[in-house]
Structure 1
Amino acid sequence: MKNSKKFYSFRGRIFIVLFIILAGFIYRGFFYPDQIFLNANPLFKTLSVVILIIFPLITLLTVFILIRIIQGKTKLSSFVLSLVMFLIMILLAYPFGEYFYKKRYRMNLEKYHTFLQLKPNTPDSVSDKNLNIFCLGGSTTEFKDKNGRDWPSLTEKLIKERYKIDSIKFYNLGKQWYTTQHSLINYIQNLRKFKPDVLLVMHNINDLLVNADFSRFSNGAFREDYGHFLGPEALMIKYGSLAEFIYNNFKLLWYRPKPFDVDTDYFPGLNSFKRNLTTIIELAKLDGTKVILMTQPNIYKSGMSDKELKSLTMLNKEAIGDGKRWTYDTAFRGIIAYNDAIKEISVFMNVPLIDLDKVVPKNLDYFYDDVHYQSKTYDLISSFLSEEILKILKENN
């Protein structure tokens, strides 16, 4: 009996040593997370730190319990029963977590669209008595400031107040995530029938980011029809369940390779961008609708401060994935290339251009991230546009 106890005691010590080695291997992996992912997700960055603190404590507690089991001070059956009860509690809690996860990411289906990803903004009706201006673009067209003001409605208000022109109506038909591909489909399917007098079109960064086909918002290599880009549906499609979400994000915290910076001046999506804009213009001209193109204001410039670089949430969150990220220079070159393409199309298609990018100062007084505006920027843009649009309309008439 005595030899038997020694044997089990020796085997127990070996088990504890192996457990410590395994725990050490697992713990070491948490020192090599995906830094790109952590920098873009403060919540998981905090979780990474918590794991580094909690894991050793759990390991020490487990070793302490194992020692007590070997010494006969704690029953093995009690320890196993506690683990089983803990697992049962997790299993019982999981359905509730799954419900709230799906409620947030999947059950809110009314905002999604089968082809356009997000349901478009469309006018309820259009009066023939007004000069109707449809404003197309992404979130920089759609979004309002903290006072509930968007630049299309502000521009309309200024024109009416300054120039006493009441028969003009601006329609804010921009939509977050929308690219020229979205706007083209939306124009054909939903907007063209209203025969607007003017299309005011501003696109750039959403089309640019489609080129980052390694990002978590993409599904495979770049396609010229943007078919690889999942956009706002990415989380819903890629992480269909809470378990998938936990697994796919948790694995980014453990033994990830060093991040790889993608520095390039090759943007295959430029051809699609030009094609989409050109098609919108061609269709509008067939209906007698004037088109005005605008470059997109942005904060990108040479000599960015650290604070400005940290503010680039679109670059830092949407141009990252699987240990890769666009460099700042890549995004800078890209946003210039897309604005230059807008200027080229304006000349080639003989349509007016408003170079709005030159109007807005490139600093955090006017932007809170790559392209989205502070409140004062809405006043600046609307004031400038109220003059430029009327000038263009008079020249073209």
Structure 2
Amino acid sequence: MRLHFGSAMREPAPPAPQTTGWRHEVKSISAAPYKIRLMRRMLPAAIAIALFLLALFFALTVAEWKAEADFARSIYAEVRRRPPHPFLQVLPAGQVGHVNEEGFRGDAITPAKPGRTFRIFTLGGSTTLGVNSAYEETYPFLVQQMLRARHPGRDIEVQNAAAAWYTTAHNVVAYDLRVRRFHPDVVIFFEAINDLTRSFSPSWFARGSFKHDYSHYLGPYARLSGPDVEFPSPPASWLDQWLIWRLVKRRLAHEPSPFNQRDPDNVARLAASMTAVDDAEFRSVESFREFYDSLIRGVRSDGATFIAASQPFLYSASLPEPERRSLYFAPIFCAENGRYPSMNAMIRGMTLFNETARSVADAEHVPFIDFAGTVPRTAQFFSDDVHLRPAGNRLVAERAVDLIEQMHLIND
């Protein structure tokens, strides 16, 4: 047996040096300047981005202020054009031409009535006022001309005291405040569509739910509550809180406006964003009945003759497409919660209000003219839902004159 003394007596090898920490330290020391250099390179870009975002926010804020200022200026211009009345909202001045100093559409008039004067006042809404007609084409003017031709020995005066947006409630107030002191001999009145619209609460014209006195329906001055009424749909995100964003989105997406009823394509887009329903509820009909009765009683208490009438309308189930494109009252003035009355509903509604007017007239024993049955429902006689063309105004005037003559109200 051999003993390997050399191997046994060999000294153990020294341990290998630990270089891991040293290399890491060297690596960390060398990486630090690189990060600093990188940060120095990125800092100007970060500052530039921050300044750009700040400038963008400032520009958007300025644009928002300008959009709000432009909206406010449009309100000021509208109020100047149609100065508000403290009780009646609007007056004919600013709506039509040939308005006299007393605020009626007609020739000059004084409260004192000469002995040979026979004075007629017409009350109503925009159809009676003739917002789409020259003064000489309105039915009150035509009544005046026809009666003057038949009674040359009398001074026939016909004053148009109607105004756009007026309901029966407005006309009760208008008669008491503005007409009564002129001592009319005859008052002719028809109105239905404006009372019908008060059954609803469109977000762009009304605030809150239906109220019996129509106080929910702000109508022409709803825009005074702010620019949000310009947009039919509620805000969908935080971006929609910015007026400038909603204006840009409306332009890019061709969103409809409830304040542009004269553009058939705009009205069609607005209608397409909602649902037409046949079961619309006409909640204002009892208010209409009450106000109508109050108006008749007020006029008759002054000794004047009251002539009631139905309101003509274009709605028809067989209406051709070109005439349908002229309609706008239902989706604009009668919308609520994404719904609006269908054609059938509007026919039913106008018939209901006209029949209610007839029933009130019968109960009060005053004459009633069926203007709705007199005017054919075609584009020859209507420019839209209820506003009449000259041919329609002439038919209405002829019926009114015929009744006045049949009643022998004018003594030569």
With the length of structure 2 as denominator, give the TM-score of the two structures: 0.70
Q: How does 1:144-159 map to 2 (within 5 A)?
A: 144-149=131-136, 150-159=138-147
Return the structure number with greater relative CO, CA threshold 8 A, min gap 6: 1
How far off is 1:87 after superposition? 3.1
* TM-aligned CA distance change 1:358 to 1:157, over 3 Å: same
| 1:141 maps onto 2:128 in alignment | yes
Distance 1:92 1:198, change over 3 A: same
SS in 1 for 2:407: helix
Residues 276-306 of structure 1 show CA distances to partners (whole Å, capped at 9, x for unaligned) of 1111111222211110001111101222222
Quickly say closer, same or farther: Cα 1:82–1:247, change in 2 above 3 A: closer
Q: Distance in 2 between matches of 1:85 and 1:246?
A: 16
Partners of 2:246 and 2:366 lie apart in 1 by 47
Aligned length: 330
3-state DSSP of counterpart to 2:157: strand
Query: Which amino acid is 1:99 matched to?
Result: A
Counterpart position of 2:281: 266
CA contact (8 A) 2:88 2:170 kept: yes
2:341 paired with 1:326: yes
Kept after mapping to 2: 8 A contact 1:215/1:319: no
Alignment-derived partner of residue 110 in structure 2? 125
Contact 2:118 / 2:154 at 8 angstroms: preserved in 1? no
Q: Does 1:90 align with 2:53?
A: no
1:221/1:228 contact within 8 Å kept: yes
Counterpart Cα distance in 2 of 1:195 and 1:280: 15
Q: What's the CA shift string for 1:289-334, capped at 9, x where partnerless?
A: 1100011111012222222222111112111244222222221110
User: Whole-Å Cα distance in 1 between the matches of residues 362 and 229 of structure 2?
Assistant: 49
Distance 1:250 1:204 in 2: 38
Q: Structure 1's 162 and 109: CA in aligned 2 closer, same or farther, altered over 3 A?
A: same
Q: 1:351 to 1:246 in 2, by over 3 A?
A: farther
> Is this contact kept in 2: 1:216–1:322, CA < 8 A?
no
Question: What's the offset of the Cα at 1:138?
Answer: 0.3
Greater mean deviation of Cα atoms: 375-384 or 217-226: 375-384
Letter in 2 for 1:113: H
Correspondences of 1:152-171 after superposition (within 5 Å)? 152-164=140-152, 166-171=154-159
193-202 or 157-166, which deviates more: 157-166
Q: 1:265 touches 1:333 (CA, 8 Å); kept in 2?
A: no
User: Which one of 298, 301, 304 corresponds to residue 283 of structure 1?
Assistant: 298
The one-character-per-residue Cα deviations of 1:246-287 (angstroms, maximum 9, x if unpaired) are: 678889979x99734443253221111111111111122221
Question: Aligned to 2:159, what secondary structure does the other structure show?
Answer: strand
Cα deviations by residue, 1:171-193 (Å, 9 ceiling, x for unpaired): 00000000000000111222222
Q: 1:235 maps to which residue?
A: 223
1:208 Cα deviation from its structure 2 partner: 0.4
Structure 2: gaps spanning 5 or more residues: 1-27, 33-41, 93-102, 231-240, 256-269
Which whole-Å CA distance do the structure 2 matches of 1:191 and 1:356 have between them? 23
CA distance in 2, matches of 1:350, 1:295: 16
**CA–CA distance in 1 between the matches of 2:400 and 2:299?**
21
Q: Contact 2:204 / 2:222 at 8 angstroms: preserved in 1? A: yes
What SS does the corresponding residue of 2:165 show, helix, strand or coil? coil
Moved more, 214-223 or 345-354: 214-223
Does structure 2 retain, via aligned residues, the 8 Å contact 1:106–1:236?
no
Which one has the largest radius of gyration?
2
Deviation at residue 244 of structure 1 after TM alignment: 7.7
Between the aligned partners of 1:294 and 1:167, the Cα distance in structure 2 is 25
8 Å contact from structure 2 (residues 312, 373) kept in 1: yes
For residue 365 of structure 1, report the CA deviation from its aligned partner. 1.6
For 2:124, give the aligned amino acid: G
**Unpaired segments ≥5 residues, structure 1:** 5-71
Deviation for aligned residue 1:144: 4.7
1:207 is matched with 195
Contact 2:206–2:217 under 8 Å retained in 1: yes
Greater helix proportion: 1
Whether 2:390 is the aligned partner of 1:390: answer no
* Counterparts of 2:201 and 2:376, CA distance in 1: 30
Per the alignment, in what secondary structure is the counterpart of residue 227 of structure 1? coil
